[in-house]
A and B are shown apart, each in its own frame.
Chain A
Amino acid sequence: MSIIVFVEDWNNVFKKASFEAVSYAKSWADLAGTSVTAITSTHAQDPGTLATYGADRILTLSLSATPFGTAQQLAAMAEEATGIVIAGTSFGRSVAPALAALANGSLSTNTTSIPSSIAPVTVERGAFSSKGIETIELSGNLPIVSFVPNSIGIVETHGIGAVSSFDAAGTDLLTVTDKTVASGKVALPEAEVVVSAGRGLKGPENWAMIEELATVLGAATACSKPVSDIGWRPHSEHVGQTGIQVNPNLYIAIGISGAIQHLAGVSASKTIVVVNTDTEAPFFKAADYGIVGDAFEVVPQLVNAMRAFKAEQ
Chain B
Amino acid sequence: MNILVCISHVPDTTAKINFDAAGKGLDSTGVQFVINPYDEFSLTKALHLKEAHGGSITVLNVGGSETEPTLRKALAIGADQAIRINATPTDAITVAKELKNHIAAQSYDLILCGQESIDYNGQQVPAMLGALLNLPFVNACVDLTIDGSQATATGEIDGGHETYSGTLPLVVGGKKGLVEEKDLRIPNMRGIMTARSKPLAVAEPTENGAATQAVKFVKPAAKSAVKLVDSVDELVHLLHNEAKAI
Contact = CB atoms under 8 A, between A and B. Distances in A.
Q: Which of B134, B137, B158, B246 has most A Cβ within 10 Å?
A: B158
B220 interface: yes
Contacts of B226: 274, 284-285, 287-290
Given A138-B212, A260-B14, A71 B131 contact: yes
A93 B44 CA distance: 24
Interface residues of B, number: 83
B77 to A, nearest CB: 18
A177 B163 contact: yes
Contact of A122 (B120, B181, B215): B215
Contacts of A193: 245-246
B189 interface: no
A171 to B, nearest CB: 9
Contact of B240 (A96, A97, A138, A309): A309
B128 A177 contact: no
Q: Which of B37, B38, B136 has most A Cβ within 10 Å?
A: B136
Interface string B137-178: 111101000000000111111111111111000000001110
B123 A97 contact: yes
A302 B192 CA distance: 52
Interface in B187-223: 209-220, 223
B1 interface: no
Contacts of A190: 158-159
B121 interface: yes
A139 B94 CA distance: 14
A157 interface: no
B22 interface: no
A3 B125 CA distance: 24
A90 B243 CA distance: 29
Contacts of B129: 101
B212 A140 contact: yes
Given A109-B123, A110-B123, A139-B213, A229 B131 contact: no
Main secondary structure of the interface of B (DSSP, over half): mixed
A242 interface: yes
Contacts of B240: 309
B19 A132 contact: yes
Interface stretch (B49-57, B80-88, B230-238): B230-238
A286 interface: yes
Nearest to A185: B159
B103 interface: no
Nearest to A287: B226
A26 interface: no
B43 to A, nearest CB: 15
B137 to A, nearest CB: 6
A119 interface: no
Contacts of B229: 289-291
A236 to B, nearest CB: 6
Contact of A242 (B38, B124, B142, B246): B38
B211 A140 contact: yes
A289 B130 contact: no
B213 A137 contact: yes
Contacts of B153: 174
29 contacts: A67-B137, A94-B139, A96-B127, A97-B92, A101-B128, A104-B211, A109-B124, A127-B119, A127-B121, A128-B120, A129-B121, A133-B220, A173-B137, A174-B138, A178-B162, A187-B158, A241-B37, A245-B121, A260-B14, A271-B243, A285-B223, A287-B223, A288-B226, A289-B235, A289-B239, A290-B226, A305-B233, A306-B236, A306-B246
Given A270-B243, A273-B239, A291-B235, 15 more contacts: A67-B127, A68-B137, A97-B92, A98-B131, A125-B121, A134-B216, A137-B213, A225-B181, A235-B177, A249-B245, A250-B239, A274-B226, A285-B223, A302-B232, A305-B235
Q: Which 8 A-B pairs have the closest CB atoms?
A: A187-B159, A140-B211, A181-B160, A106-B211, A97-B127, A173-B136, A101-B131, A131-B17
